[in-house]
Amino acid sequence: MRTRIAAGNWKMNTTLNEGMSLAHRINEFVKNYSLENKRIILGTPFTHLATIASSVDYKKISLAAQNCARWEKGAYTGEISAEMVRSTGAHYIIIGHSERRQFFKETHEELKQKVDLCLKSNLRPIFCIGEKLEEREANLHFDVVKKQLTESLFHLDHENMMHTVIAYEPVWAIGTGKNATPEQAQEMHAYIRTLIKEIYGISTAIEISILYGGSCNAANASSLFIQPDIDGGLIGGASLKVDDFIEIIKAL
């Protein structure tokens, strides 16, 4: 049975004290909440990881970095390696978010390197994919997603693929207030699962968690998560609002 996941991506928000307060309130909620076959992930800024990791119940809450360097180590001032992330107590790294692709021009090859370093450090990638509005309007959305997966993820062997989470985030729905309809999201999730099946077999395709992102919030989470191939969400703005994020967790 696939793991249901609510993963918050805090992006470049919260001071350390603000992040600690947010994590504490989520931790208090999950203390008495059954998370059988469910997982809560907080994607905090790098500066928060070690402190929050030591203050939450790691059996119920996992932490994710929002990025890592494409190099293992070296003279790369300001960069954070996957191994550094692991040393904080984090378990995941968000890789390939559309904002990284857009603002930092991350390429398929660079993301492939990051995926490999993430797995080498015994961390799990949350690998983001998704099309721009003009690509969907040109009916290229399936081609775009297939290329993103093929170029950066489908080189993995079966074992490493099983340690990966995929997050489909249509770029036109991230932070815009727009979102794909549940039917549009399900269509793409089913397509992604079909691609995995073609390469890795049906058992792998059935087991891998595929999340939806892109203006997923407390109001629409239930209608998205009820779809057969949507296993939870990678949540942006709503993850910064405790009450909203708790409602999203309840929708899993």
Cα separation of 156 and 159, whole Å? 8
Instruction: State the catalytic residue, choosing from 48, 91, 97, 141.
Output: 97
Q: Are 145 and 188 in contact (CB under 8 A)?
A: yes
Instruction: Specify burial of residue 38 (Cβ count, 10 A radius: 0-12, 13-18, 19+).
Output: middle
Q: Is 137 marked active-site?
A: no
Sign of CA dihedral 212, 216, 217, 222: negative
Instruction: State the catalytic residue, choosing from 91, 131, 169, 189.
Output: 169
* Residues near 228 by beta carbon (within 8 Å), at least 6 away in sequence: 186, 190
Cα separation of 99 and 84, whole Å? 22
Q: Is 18 marked active-site?
A: no
DSSP conformation class of 9: E
| Length in residues, the chain | 252
Where in the sequence numbering do the catalytic residues fall?
97, 169
